[in-house]
A and B are shown apart, each in its own frame.
Chain A
Amino acid sequence: MKLTVDWDICQGHGRCVMVAPEFFDFKEGEDKPTVIVSDISEAQKSLAQRACRSCPERALLLQE
């Protein structure tokens, strides 16, 4: 599964980084997060889903 961010929608709330620091991080000087892991395994699926549901802007997508 692929975890992606719609950058036009993301406003850098950082909820994804709080919920799933395994997948997202804020880099120096950036006000939007970087996806550090985008290939999501079956074992990681529920955390990835949780991250998606946590984004107030609904900018995160988890796709087969």
Chain B
Amino acid sequence: MSEKKKCPITHGWQPYDPEFRKDPFPTYKEFRQQCPVGRVEAHDGFWAVSRYEDVFEVARDAETFCSGQGIAIPPMEYDGRALPMEADAPEHFGLRQILAHELTPRAVMAREEMLRVSAQKLLAKIADKDEVDISEEYAKLLPTTVICQLLDIEGDEAQLQELQEWTEEIVYERKDHNSARQASDNIVAFFNELIPQRRENLGDDFISTLLKAEVNGQPLSDQDIMDFCWFLLIAGLDNTAFTIRNLLLQISNSEELRQELIADPDKISDAIEEVLRLYSPVWGIARTATKDTEINGQAIAAGDKVMMLFASADRDEEEFPEPDKFVLGRTPNRHMAFGMGAHRCLGSHLARLEIKVAVEEFLQLFPDYQVVGDVDWNTMGPLPIALSATAESTATA
């Protein structure tokens, strides 16, 4: 371990403190300005990397900063690996390619109609209500429906909701180890039942693709298949839901933005990029140094954990002028919400399309919707919405 002087800025940081999570951005700004590569004591110690350029360098160099020793701090409540994320070269590329073909821009575009129908069905269910919690009844359900279609999981709404709740437990409720472990075990049990059935009855869903896949002439092990399935849920559900929620909240906060998007729905894509930049669903991903090295002059020892703070990098004033401002059509907008480098999010094209369809369909049906009352940003919490302008609303600016 390298010498670790206590940094007054980052030393005592508690990344999962609910108060901090509500508005992490002033803290990140302090990190960037005063201690851009700062030692944090919590969770057995790690380096918090907060500047855009430094995160870029770390993400780019998968040899010096590997993923195979865990991408989360503290580790996720799962004994397997989050695949393909937690594999390193040379194994990583082959694993990644298995699903890459299914998630190319063209392959994803071919699913647009299915996505639209799913969104419309969900909206039809809430259309005659005056007020709904759009987090629970839309933002979270759409990605769940989509992933179930991709995995060919049949289930009623209660089952879908259960899957969604398990992933949320693992991703967001990181304070309570027991319930996260329980949720993770539930997902494993769920796939333990499903995978053997699927093996008997292969189709063209993602699980079948994994079962049929070969890397260097070898099929995947049962554990690898479980690892993929487990991580597909973790990666595919909450992050997309989080961004749908954020964009609907952002729109309801600005009449100008609302009118612009209604007049020109093509601009929704730009709005998505900007809301991803402002509220990165994955705020950080960890790496482990494979050798003694340095980041921006700070010595890092082999074995040290390094946390790339995407949510901070994406508000770095050096990269983004007026970083806290929502700018529709900001160019360039090289945000890192999907990560960077060899491990970049494999599902980004699907996620973008899901969010686009979700917001397009919603705006079309409920152009006058208003958020009711004071709600939290940057969470997966409730988002009560009055669907039409005639309903009483007390949206806050």
Q: Is the contact region of chain A dominated by helix, strand, or loop, or is it mixed?
A: loop
Closest-by-CB residue of A relative to B337 is A56
**B348 interfacial contact with A, CB 8 Å:** yes
Name which of B31-39, B84-92, B97-105, B132-140 contacts chain A: B97-105
Residues of chain B lying within 8 A (CB to CB) of residue A28: 104, 106
A19 touches B331 (CB 8 A): yes
**A11 interfacial contact with B, CB 8 Å:** yes
Given A53-B331, A55-B334: A27 in contact with B348 (beta carbons within 8 A): no
Residues of chain A lying within 8 A (CB to CB) of residue B349: 14
How far is A18 from B348 in the complex, measured between Cα atoms in Å? Answer: 13
B332 touches A29 (CB 8 A): no
B332 touches A53 (CB 8 A): yes
Residues of chain B lying within 8 A (CB to CB) of residue A30: 104, 106
**Which listed residue (B60, B101, B333, B336) contacts A31, Cβ 8 A?**
B101
- Interface 0/1 of B181-195, CB less than 8 Å to A: 000000000000000
**Which listed residue (A14, A50, A56) contacts B105, Cβ 8 A?**
A14
Which residues of A5-57 have CB atoms within 8 Å of chain B's CB atoms? 11-15, 17-19, 26-31, 50, 53-57
**Which listed residue (A12, A14, A56) contacts B334, Cβ 8 A?**
A56
**B235 interfacial contact with A, CB 8 Å:** no
Given A26-B105, A27-B106, A31-B100: A13 in contact with B348 (beta carbons within 8 A): yes
How far is A55 from B344 in the complex, measured between Cα atoms in Å? Answer: 13
How far is A12 from B332 in the complex, measured between Cα atoms in Å? Answer: 17
Residues of chain B lying within 8 A (CB to CB) of residue A55: 334
Which residues of B56-107 have CB atoms within 8 Å of chain A's CB atoms? 60, 100-101, 103-107
